[in-house]
Amino acid sequence: MPHNASSYLNMPVNMLMFPPTRPEIADKVYVIVILALVAGFLALRLYSVLGKRTGHEQQPVPPQAEDRPKVTVLQPRPVGDTGGDSVRLAQGLIAPEAETGVRALIAADRKFDVPQFVDGAKSAYRMVLEAFWRGDRKELEWLCDADVYASFDAAIASREADGHTLENRLVRIDKAQISNVLIEGRVASVVLRFDADIAAITRDKDGTIIAGSMTDAVSTHDVWTFSRDIRSADPNWKLTETDEEA
């Protein structure tokens, strides 16, 4: 049955098939080429940023010696080293008459380090004084041997019986120096002289100041002895004797 023109015109628009014209084909090709160029450009950019791992990439240059962090490793001294260098480096921390004893101690205990020991002794000096001033028997018992602890304990008991309290303060340690070293069998004893300034106040049971002043520090010169079994695994030194030098 033949179709006339009016039948095509009466069909819905979406059912009509129109072959593309040449300008439409050119536009589509142009769009495809543009998209292909954009995709290629993005691929090159991605490659330049991420790169490609082949297993032959240049390894990071190791830092130069001067750029590496400084690490100090405490190495034991070789057998036969008497520690002369250590003694010379600790000048000012050792009295001349104590140098021979310090060398003997370093030969017997290769882990003994003069600056480290003196720093530790200064800390112990402060800790013992402050524990005694506030009456901390537990702290004193840990830091001192039995005889020294007994002396501190008796002094604290006497102070408590009188109703006195101390408000002392260690202002500064001007000097700490090894003045003698003794080695008897396994036990080493190191004698130190401490020059320090201490501000001291004593109050009675009513809180009234009966001695001292916090504004006038008093210079003190203490001679303390610390001892340790150098063959023991315990690295702590105990306070074994106290004295005061005029």
Calculate the dihedral angle through the C-alpha atoms of 39, 42, 48, 49, rounding to the nearest 10 degrees: -140
pLDDT of residue 3: 46
Greater pLDDT, 244 or 25: 244
pTM of the model: 0.65
Calculate the dihedral angle through the C-alpha atoms of 141, 143, 147, 153, rounding to the nearest 10 degrees: -50
82 pLDDT higher than 50: no
Which parts of the chain fold into alpha helices (H)? 5-9, 22-50, 84-89, 99-108, 114-134, 137-143, 146-162
pLDDT of residue 87: 72
In which element (H, E) is residue 180 found? strand 169-184
Asked if residue 146 lies in contact with residue 131, where contact means CB atoms within 8 angstroms, the answer is no
Separation between Cα atoms, residue 43 and residue 31, nearest integer Å? 18
Average per-residue pLDDT for the chain: 78
Backbone angles phi, psi at 88, to 5 degrees: -65, -35
CA 43 to mean position of chain CA atoms: 50
Calculate the dihedral angle through the C-alpha atoms of 181, 183, 186, 191, rounding to the nearest 10 degrees: -30
- Nearest CA to 192 out of 171, 229, 235, 221 is that of 221
109 pLDDT higher than 60: yes
